[in-house]
Amino acid sequence: MTIYFTWNEFDKSVEHIANRCKFLKFSGIYGVPRGGLCLAVALSHKLKINLISEPIKNSLIVDDVYETGITLNNFKNIEGAMFFVLFSKVKPTWWSTVYMSEKKEWIAFPWENKLNLQNDRIEYIKKRDLS
């Protein structure tokens, strides 16, 4: 199953995260390449937080999807960091999410190339043996 995430939903998600973070002080915002970059830029403008090229102490770290944890686990021990994802495929423990989704769901983001969508989904399923 494919979920089509729209720009409108993205904007609402940015609002949601910004409201949760508006009274917190961050040293910067880091978007995990590539999925977290659009979210980081939008939050940077909304919260007036500088984008940073690598996560540091007390930073806000964002990504598009938490699936296996491999990506965000690399940053888990950064002191004072806060973590947000748009979608989580497992129940959040030390990170926060806007939406929960099922493991088998493919999420198509509005900034992705729609022509590659079907091939990307097929590769995703093969890699995770979700057939």
With a cut of 70, say whether residue 10 has pLDDT above it: yes
Which band of pLDDT confidence, cut at 50, 70 and 90, is reported for residue 20? very high
What is the pTM (predicted TM-score) of this model?
A: 0.86
Q: Which residues contact 63 (CB under 8 A, 6 or more apart)?
A: 31, 32, 35, 36, 39, 71, 72, 83, 84, 85, 86
Beta bridge partners of 31: 62
Other C-beta atoms within 10 Å of 101: how many? Answer: 20
With a cut of 60, say whether residue 14 has pLDDT above it: yes
- The number of folded domains in the chain is 1
Q: How far, in Å, are 1, 24, 51, 118 from residue 4 at the CA level?
A: 10, 31, 27, 13
Q: What is the pLDDT of residues 74-127, one digit of tens each?
A: 999 999 999 999 999 999 999 999 999 998 888 989 888 666 666 766 776 676
pLDDT score recorded for residue 37: 96
CATH of the domain at 11: 3.40.50.2020
Domain that holds residue 59: 2-128
With a cut of 70, say whether residue 130 has pLDDT above it: no
pLDDT score recorded for residue 89: 95
Q: What is the pLDDT of residues 101-111, one digit of tens each?
A: 998 888 989 88
Q: What is the pLDDT of residues 45-68, one digit of tens each?
A: 999 999 999 999 999 999 999 999
pLDDT (mean) for 1-30? 94
pLDDT score recorded for residue 13: 97
